[in-house]
Structure 1
Amino acid sequence: MTDRVDRPLVWSLAILRFSTGAFFLVWALEKIFAPEIARRVFETFYFSSPSDTMLLLTGLLQLLFVLAFMAGLFRFWTYGALLAMHAVSVVSSFPRLLDPFTPPNHLFWAGVPVLGLLVALFLLRNRDSLFTLSGVKVGGQAVQRGLAIIAIGGAATLAVPQPRAADAGQSVTVHSYAAQPKLVDTTNTHWIEAPSGVIFVDR
């Protein structure tokens, strides 16, 4: 390809990488600075209620991948990790995608083109060279294996539900019900089954 063709391509890929990175930064920072909002998302879409510590660790791990992604580092692993994370997010909202005319379900369709964008970035990752730290090389099979484990673990952390009870040894079960589930401003009702009785929490 000529420079005339490559220049628009690399600029386009850089714009897509930075704008997508900013999109993911919001979600990563939310887990760190607004864990209550992030917890509502997990309760609604992942049927779990992670602790503040788990949300903080998840947010920091996600933040690490997002920053490396925006810097163009370890492209196979970072581009692939964000693609996997977002694929899990889109799959979890699939019932709402099938019912787009019930508010606010049409907003979830914004995640579909982002998923396509991440697929395109992953396929064109070797052409994405503008404003990247491409001089950093990954050396040795041990480092590559380590990055693979971190990438898979980062995606799995967002997908695997976390235990609801503070002590797994106790017979405690937490249930949640959301009226017209939304990301924010939803009406949540929780009830906790414990050996001594049932506790209701209406929010």
Structure 2
Amino acid sequence: MVWAFDKILAPGHTVKVFAAFYNLDISTSLAVGLGVVQIAFISAFALGLYKSITYLAILVLHAGSTFAAFAKYLDPLNNLLFFAAWPMLAACIGLYLLREYDVWVLSRKSELAYNR
């Protein structure tokens, strides 16, 4: 959620991040729009809505950002913060694979979880 608010409150920062990590030139208006969409999407994810879609999308998006920063891993002593992405990626994989057992959400409860 922090990065979503960053896109809205400091769109110039987002423009620099997209240029540095993704080689994309975006406008500040697009950065703000992405922030708004990201807030809605993260909210749906956090509430457990549309688990098959949102959990997979979070996994794919996080994997993309993790691998986009690959050069940072080659200089580990100056980029320690980037290594936090790997356990988070593992957590995203686990959450996606076990999504049917995630019953503390607003979406319809999983039949699989209740038939254990």
- Alpha-carbon distance, 1:49 to partner: 2.6
CA RMSD of aligned residues (A): 1.4
* Aligned counterparts of 2:93 and 2:108: Cα–Cα separation in 1: 24
Give every structure 1 segment of 4 or more consecutive aligned residues whose post-TM-superposition deviation is greater than 2 Å.
none
Amino acid at match of 1:126: E
* Aligned counterparts of 2:39 and 2:99: Cα–Cα separation in 1: 20
* Aligned counterparts of 2:41 and 2:34: Cα–Cα separation in 1: 11
What do residues 48-87 of structure 1 show as CA deviations (whole Å, max 9, x unaligned)?
Answer: 2311111122112221210000110000100111111111
In structure 1, the gaps of 5 or more residues are: 1-24, 137-203
In structure 2, the gaps of 5 or more residues are: 110-116
- Higher Cα radius of gyration: 1
Q: What's the secondary structure of 2:76's corresponding residue?
A: coil
Correspondence for 1:65:
41
Identity between Structure 1 and Structure 2 (%): 39
- The answer on 1:49 being equivalent to 2:22 is no
Which residues of 2 match residues 1-203 of structure 1 at below 5 A?
A: 25-101=1-77, 103=78, 105-130=79-104, 132-135=105-108
* Aligned counterparts of 1:127 and 1:135: Cα–Cα separation in 2: 12
What do residues 85-142 of structure 1 show as CA deviations (whole Å, max 9, x unaligned)?
Answer: 11110111111112212x2x11110111111110111011111111x11239xxxxxx
Give the number of equivalent residue pairs.
Answer: 109
Q: What's the secondary structure of 1:49's corresponding residue?
A: coil
Higher helix share: 2
Higher strand share: 1
Q: What's the secondary structure of 1:44's corresponding residue?
A: helix
